[in-house]
A and B are shown apart, each in its own frame.
Chain A
Amino acid sequence: MALTHKTPMLDELEKGHWPSFISDIKQIAERKPACDDLLGVMEKSYEDKEGHWKHGGIVGVLGYGGGVIGRYCDRPDLFPNVAHFHTLRVNQPASKFYSTEHLRKVCDMWEKHGSGLTNMHGSTGDIILLGTTTDELEPTFYELTHTLNMDLGGSGSNLRTPSCCLGKARCEWSCLDTQDITYNLTQEYQDELHRPMFPYKFKFKTSGCPNDCVAAIARADCSIIGTWRDDIRIDQEAVRAYAAGELVPNAGSHGTEPRPLDIQKEVIDLCPTKCMAWDGKNLKIWNEECTRCMHCINVMPRALRPGTDVGATILCGAKAPILEGAQLSSVIIPFMRMESPYDEFKEFVEKMWDWWMELGRNRERLGELIQRLGLREFLKAVELEPDPRMINTPRYNPYIFYAREDVPGGWEIDAKAYRERHQP
Chain B
Amino acid sequence: MAFDPNDLMKDRITDIGPPHFEQFFPPIIKENYGKWIYHEILEPGVLVHVSETGAEVYTVRTGGCRLMSVDMIREICDIADKHCGGYVRWTTRNNVEFMVDSKDKLQPLIDDLKSRKFPAGSNKFPIGGTGAGITNIVHTQGWLHCHTPAIDASGIVKSVLDELYDDFCSMRLPAQVRISLACCLNMCGAVHCSDIAILGVHRKPPFVEHERVSKVCEIPLAIAACPTAAIKPAKVEGMKSVVVNNDRCMFCGNCYTMCPAMPLANAEGDGVALWVGGKVSNARCAPKFSKLAVPYIPNEPPRWPTVVKDIKKIVEVYASDANKYERIGEWIERIGWERFFERTELEFRHEHIDDYRLAMTTWRTTTQFKW
Contact = CB atoms under 8 A, between A and B. Distances in A.
A394 interface: no
B122 A215 contact: no
Interface in B142-158: 142-149, 152, 154-155, 158
Given A95-B89, A165-B92, A363-B225, A85 B145 contact: yes
B336 interface: no
B343 interface: no
B348 to A, nearest CB: 22
B287 A212 contact: yes
B89 A218 contact: no
Interface in A87-141: 87, 91-104, 106-107, 110-111, 116-125, 130-131, 138-139
Nearest to A177: B34
Nearest to A305: B37
B267 A15 contact: no
A139 B3 contact: yes
Interface in B106-143: 118-126, 130-132, 138, 140-143
Interface string B23-46: 111100100011011111111000
A231 B29 CA distance: 27
Contacts of A87: 145
Interface stretch (B70-78, B240-248, B310-318): B70-78
A6 interface: no
B170 to A, nearest CB: 9
B18 A138 contact: no
Interface stretch (A52-60, A281-289, A407-415, A416-424): A52-60
A323 B254 contact: yes
Which of A24, A125, A148 has the most chain B CB atoms inside 10 A of its CB?
A24
Contacts of B26: 97
A362 B218 CA distance: 13
A210 B16 contact: no
A301 interface: yes
B232 interface: no
Interface residues of A, number: 140
A54 B20 CA distance: 36
A10 B240 CA distance: 43
Interface string A70-92: 01000000000000010100011
A183 B4 CA distance: 31
Contacts of B239: none
B366 interface: no
B190 A46 contact: no
Contacts of B227: 323-324
B252 A322 contact: yes
B307 interface: no
B165 interface: yes
A194 B16 CA distance: 11
A149 B23 CA distance: 12
A402 interface: no
Given A45-B143, A52-B143, A170-B57, A187 B67 contact: no
B295 interface: no
Contacts of B39: 171-172, 251, 301
Contacts of B270: 49-50
Interface in A32-56: 35, 38, 42, 45-46, 48-56
A125 B94 CA distance: 10
Contacts of A17: 122-123, 126, 162, 165
Nearest to A115: B69
B17 A28 contact: no
Interface in B64-100: 64-74, 76-77, 80-81, 86-92, 94, 96, 99
B186 A191 contact: no
Contact of A253 (B22, B130, B141, B155): B130
B162 A16 contact: yes
B192 A172 contact: no
A24 B69 contact: yes
Contacts, number: 412
Give the interface size bracket for B toward A: 35 or more
Contacts of A145: 12-14, 16
Contacts of B145: 53, 71, 85, 87, 130-131
Given A294-B282, A363-B225, A191 B15 contact: yes
A253 B41 contact: yes
A143 B130 contact: no
A183 B15 contact: no
B144 A42 contact: yes
Given A15-B120, A123-B190, A253-B132, A100 B77 contact: yes
A159 B220 CA distance: 25
A14 B283 contact: no
A190 B16 CA distance: 8
Interface string A156-171: 0000010101101111
B315 to A, nearest CB: 15
Contacts of A110: 70
A117 B187 CA distance: 22
Contact of B69 (A25, A266, A293): A25
A386 interface: no
A248 B42 CA distance: 10
A-B pairs with lowest CB-CB distance, top 7? A253-B131, A16-B162, A252-B41, A320-B187, A14-B120, A23-B118, A55-B260
Given A63-B12, A120-B64, A218-B287, 12 more contacts: A27-B69, A51-B146, A91-B17, A93-B21, A98-B88, A99-B87, A120-B94, A194-B14, A251-B131, A301-B40, A318-B190, A323-B227
Interface of B: 1, 3, 5, 8-9, 11-26, 29, 33-34, 36-43, 49, 57, 59, 63-74, 76-77, 80-81, 86-92, 94, 96, 99, 118-126, 130-132, 138, 140-149, 152, 154-155, 158-159, 161-162, 165, 168, 171-172, 176, 182, 185-193, 221, 224-225, 227, 252-254, 256, 260, 265-267, 270, 280-285, 287, 289, 299, 301-303, 324-325, 356-358
Interface of A: 9-25, 27-28, 35, 38, 42, 45-46, 48-56, 62-64, 71, 85, 87, 91-104, 106-107, 110-111, 116-125, 130-131, 138-139, 142-143, 145-146, 148-151, 161, 163, 165-166, 168-172, 174, 177, 179, 183, 186-187, 190-191, 194, 210-219, 248, 250-256, 266, 270, 272, 292-295, 298-299, 301-302, 305, 318-326, 328, 361-363
